[in-house]
Amino acid sequence: MVSAGLQLVGYFLALAGWVGAICASALPQWKQSSYAGDAIITAVGLYEGLWMSCASQSTGQVQCKLHESLLSLDVHIQTSRALMVVSILLGFVGVIVSVIGMKCTKVGDENPVMKSWIAVLGGVFFLLAGLCTMTAVSWYAVRVTYEFFNPNTPVNARYEFGSALFVGWSAASLTLLGGAFLACSCPKPEERGQQYYRQSQPSTAREPTEKRGDQSV
């Protein structure tokens, strides 16, 4: 059976990835562009995320506006939104389930095999969450790249990768790695046999007593 230390490392890696996914989803810097107008004093940096778009002026003032209409958004933004929300929900379930299944906790100690399977289930939730995050971030990045190299896109309207994309990639990697560690908690066949023997041992121990009782009668 996998060691408790490996489970603990996997849990904290996945937990850090889940927190990173939340941060990446909330950040508005999924794509960013900065350019100067006719005068340097009017320089503006534009940022756009899943939920809002922001404009940062050279004076330090930042103005943000929420995306008001969901149906008017591009398909890749709507899909990335949905995938990030699903990823956060799956990660939350993975956090709860993994705590129950890890060897370092006292919950379910009377059945170690079932406890290991619960840890595996938590790892599966983390793996699915990491895949959702990776898909959302990568799809958004592909769209930004396509628009940047599209000759029909004006030069001053081209966007580049924002910091939220790199946070998302890092979060997805941590979540996948942590989920893989937890998924290694699958009990071996001999361990399942030992658990079955321990569960059946009390019933067999009563047989000699019953036989002795019959002989005395």
pLDDT digits (tens, 9 = 90+) for 121-180: 999 999 999 999 999 999 999 999 998 888 888 877 788 899 999 999 999 999 999 999
Say which residue, 192 or 56, is predicted with more confidence: 56
Say what the pLDDT of residue 34 is. Answer: 58
Q: How far is it, in rounded angstroms, from Cα 132 to Cα 120? A: 19
Say what the pLDDT of residue 69 is. Answer: 79
The closest of 78, 83, 95 to 17, measured between CA atoms, is 95
Half-sphere CA count of 126, side-chain side, radius 13 A: 37
The model carries a pTM of 0.80
Share of the chain above pLDDT 90, in %: 47
Is the pLDDT at 90 greater than 60? The verdict is yes
DSSP run (H or E) holding 34:
strand 31-35
CATH topology of domain 4-28+73-201: Butyryl-CoA Dehydrogenase, subunit A; domain 3 (1.20.140)
Q: How far is it, in rounded angstroms, from Cα 165 to Cα 123? A: 24
Say what the pLDDT of residue 175 is. Answer: 97
Say what the pLDDT of residue 189 is. Answer: 57
**Helix ranges (DSSP H) in the chain:** 4-26, 75-101, 112-149, 163-183, 189-216
User: What confidence tens digit (pLDDT) does each residue in 7-24 have?
Assistant: 899 999 999 999 999 999
Q: Are 195 and 113 in contact (CB under 8 A)?
A: yes
Say which residue, 137 or 4, is predicted with more confidence: 137
- DSSP annotation of 88: H
Average pLDDT of the segment spanning 28-32: 92
Say what the pLDDT of residue 205 is. Answer: 45
User: What confidence tens digit (pLDDT) does each residue in 193-209 have?
Assistant: 444 444 444 544 444 44
Q: What is the mean pLDDT of the chain?
A: 81
pLDDT category at 109 given cuts 50, 70, 90 is low
Say what the pLDDT of residue 105 is. Answer: 77
User: What confidence tens digit (pLDDT) does each residue in 40-85 have?
Assistant: 444 578 889 999 999 888 777 888 889 877 778 889 999 999 999 9
